[in-house]
Amino acid sequence: MIELHPVDWFIIIWYLLVCTFVGLYYSKVASKRMEEYFVAGRSLPWWITGTSMVATTFAADTPLAVTALTAQHGIAGNWFWWSFMFGGMLTAIFYAKLWRRSEVLTDMEFAELRYSGKPAAALRGFRSLYTGIFINAIIMGWVMLAMAKIFSVVLGWPTVSSTILAAVIALAYTLLAGLWGVTMTDVVQFILAMLGCVVLAVFALAHVGWIDGLHAGLVSTYGQARTSEILSFAPSLTSIWMPFAMFLTYLTLNWYSSWYPGAEPGGGGYIAQRMLSCKTEKDSKLSMIWFTFAHYVLRPWPWIIVALVSMVVWPNLADPELGYPLAMGTFLPVGLRGLIIAAFLAAFMSTMSTQINWGSSYIVRDFYQRFIKKDAPPKHYVNVARGVSALQLGLAILISFVFPSVADAWKFLIVIGAGTGLVYLLRWFWWRVNAWSEISAMCSAMVIGLSVTHLTSDWVIQMWVTFISVTSIWLAVTFLTKPEEERTLDHFYKKVHPGGFWNQVRARTGVKGDRITARDWIGWAVGCLFILTGLMGTGYLVLGQFLTGVPLLATSIVSFVVLYTLIIKSNSE
């Protein structure tokens, strides 16, 4: 527990006032209609939507989970989430433009654009409730769990009351301003959160004697051999600290097989919501590229540095996630304590506001309006969304007491979605995928995923068993059920112009859709190289290995130039 100076309180109060002002400023615009409330009138530029994405994924939970992953498996443990960079770039190159063309209000609405009849309606209704209530409550619950740990360790406040207080603040400006308020405050919140984390990393390093002192402390605590494993960016075949089978699963399965918030295969959730709110297709693409860069290159290293320092200073923590809030309370002087608390309030509120807005969009647009009250005035739906948001928050508060750690919640959510990712990728490019494909994938993943978590604690086995089983089931169901109606397929194709396996539809409609070319795949590969070398190069520089870091960063810059050129060329055709 630390004692806050009046300067610290001034910084915290200033931040809260800024958020309140933004909410009030945009409340009039957001209340006009659902398109303003949920997708900001489809008028946002790429840099706002991309920053909003990365601010949302920042959260209060992420630094704590990264601390645990690093403490348990070394730097290489972060491939659990780094691997999603491949999917993020896939979305930028292939899917961002398609989402913008679809002009749906939510990604659940996509079900009745792509599929037909009662199965499509059932899929939309069920997924809107399942994701908007159950999955969204899990996500908000683990974010609250992280904030509760921070409040209890840093301030010594009662975890329940302090978490509810922060959640209510997030709810207030979200209800007022909708996506306008969420995205505009996200820009401020991302800057503040990054600044706070960088400052904490600098003071943490100074506490142990900078990089040389950090290395010496790790060797003293864990020995030379284990320190080499801790600081390695990839594990060896015989590594005990980071099992190679787990690393291989991250690279070959994790990033495309599961639905996961912020890393949905092909885009989805609030990532789709941000792409749908962009002004143009080009803005949609650039927003995903900026998000992927900021998410994987800019953000990780301040967290990882603090995690490594916590391993030296507190090597035997029963809950390694507590290493991060302990660093917040130990290393910072007066004034900067207020900054870091405001930074984490920013990260927390950014995520909560998005989840509240995004979840309510499913329940109101895809269930309430679709199945209960179709023709009410626009303001009625906005008011219902506000009421639903409050109920969502209450459920999330209850779920925050279920999971023991943030990292456990992450892994649980990925397992119960393993195998669904391929459906979300292929539904755009293969006409034969139907509503039953998605329904069978989602239901079987939930049942099989929950079952294997009770049969084995080995996460690698859980993932592969669920993925293979679910993929087999949904492919079998696809071929055993009828294709979608030709009228629905034709309408979807003429509106979205997807590439891929649409030959029959293309011949029937006479519409020439996009072609997936070698240049698209080169763009994806170059984009992955841009992110990967940027991530690794930044890490090597931070760890003082300049001879390795500088060439990698140079490669990243060149890759970006090539990628941007490819994007400009594709938009000019």
Express each pLDDT in 269-318 by its tens digit: 888 888 988 899 999 999 999 999 999 999 999 999 999 999 999 998 88
Q: What percentage of the chain has pLDDT greater than the value 90?
A: 42
Given a contact cutoff of 8 angstroms between Cβ atoms, the answer to whether 264 and 272 are in contact is yes
- Residues forming a β-bridge with 278: 44
Rounded to the nearest 10°, the torsion over CA 146, 147, 149, 155 is 160
List pLDDT tens digits, range 141-160: 777 777 777 777 766 666 66
Q: What is the pLDDT of residues 184-221, one digit of tens each?
A: 677 777 887 888 889 999 999 999 999 999 999 999 99
Of 66, 90, 92, nearest to 79 by C-alpha is: 66
Would you state the pLDDT for residue 195? 85
Q: Which residues contact 359 (CB under 8 A, 6 or more apart)?
A: 131, 132, 133, 136, 140, 388, 389, 392
Higher pLDDT, 529 or 150: 529
d(CA 268, CA 279): 18
Say which residues have a Cβ less than 8 Å from residue 451's Cβ, sequence separation at least 6. none
Confidence of residue 58 (pLDDT cuts 50, 70, 90): confident
Indicate the pLDDT class of residue 173, thresholds 50, 70 and 90: low
The pLDDT confidence band at residue 341, using thresholds 50, 70 and 90, is confident
Residue from 22, 429, 78, 389 nearest 232 by CA? 78
Alpha-carbon distance of 185 to 280, in angstroms, equals: 22
**Could you tell me which of 471, 391, 387 has the C-alpha nearest to residue 437?**
471
pTM, two decimals, is 0.86
pLDDT in tens, 82-92: 999 999 999 99
**Per-chain mean pLDDT for the chain:** 84
CB 64 within 8 A of CB 325: yes
Per mean pLDDT, which range of 12-16, 119-123, 496-500, 543-547 is the poorest?
12-16
* Percentage with pLDDT > 70 across the chain: 86
- From the options 2.40.50.140, 3.30.70.940, 1.25.40.10, 1.20.1730.10, give the CATH code of 6-414: 1.20.1730.10
What are the extents of the domains in the chain?
Answer: 6-414
Helical spans, DSSP H, in 400-485: 406-415, 421-426, 435-455, 459-480
Side-chain-side CA neighbours of residue 372 (13 Å): 11
Contact 76, 233 (CB under 8 A): yes
C-alpha–C-alpha distance, residues 534 and 336, integer Å: 29
Task: Copy the structure tokens of residue 444.
Answer: 């079987």
Looking at residue 30, its pLDDT comes to: 47
Statement: residue 547 has pLDDT above 70: yes
